Amino acid sequence: MQPPARITQLIDPADLRRVHDLRFDILRKPMGLPYSSAVFAEDVQPTTTHYLALVEDELVGCVSLVESPEQRRTQLRGMAVRADHQNRGIGRLLLQHLQTPQLLQSTNLWCNARQAAVGFYERNGWVTVGDCFDIPHIGPHIKMEWRQLVSTSLGDCG
């Protein structure tokens, strides 16, 4: 049986290279894109957080949160799970992990989801916003937002 994955935040900047490797393998290489396309300018901003899914210290999943504090909006980017670990709940674990602090901070979480991954986000409380659009060399995407679960009883003034 596969050992469980644990989620951690990237602390050592040297580990960013492992995130870039995984993003490249899963998100860019299949499209014939160069390694440099897996490196985002925002990766080294102090307000960007990288979450890692590790199985026995091997990186099997990653996702990054790019904050725009002035707009109280945070973009989810670079969600990738290693091919031989997909469909084992690791993507869901990553989302659950980052959604909790977002809820506490009341910021809006959004992403440009690949059309093929929309169902994955929907199963985790996200909704599509607007129409499908094309990102050159990568394919069709749809903007999605995470809708926080709000208890109606709290806001009920009737």
Ligand X SMILES: CC(C)(COP(=O)(O)OP(=O)(O)OC[C@H]1O[C@@H](n2cnc3c(N)ncnc32)[C@H](O)[C@@H]1OP(=O)(O)O)[C@@H](O)C(=O)NCCC(=O)NCCS
Quick one: 69 or 135, whose CB is closer to ligand X?
Answer: 135
Q: Which of these segments, 16-24, 44-52, 117-125, 147-155, binds ligand X (CB under 6 A)? A: 117-125
Q: Which residues pair with 140 in a beta bridge?
A: 134
Quick one: 10 or 90, whose CB is closer to ligand X?
Answer: 90
Which residue, 97, 125, 90, is CA-closest to 111?
Answer: 125
* Residues in region 60-99 near ligand X by CB under 6 A: 79-81, 86-92
Quick one: 49 or 124, whose CB is closer to ligand X?
Answer: 124
- Shortest spacing between CB 49 and ligand X, in angstroms: 17
- Over the window 121 to 150, marking each residue x when it contacts ligand X by CB under 6 A and - when it does not, the resulting string is --x---------------------------
Which of residues 73, 117, 128, 143 is near ligand X by CB under 6 A?
117
* Residues 36-40: contacts with CB under 8 Å, at least 24 apart: 38/78, 40/64, 40/66, 40/77, 40/78
Contact status: 119 vs ligand X (CB under 6 A): yes
Asked if residue 36 lies in contact with residue 89, where contact means CB atoms within 8 angstroms, the answer is no
Q: What are phi and psi of 37, to 5 degrees?
A: -75, -10
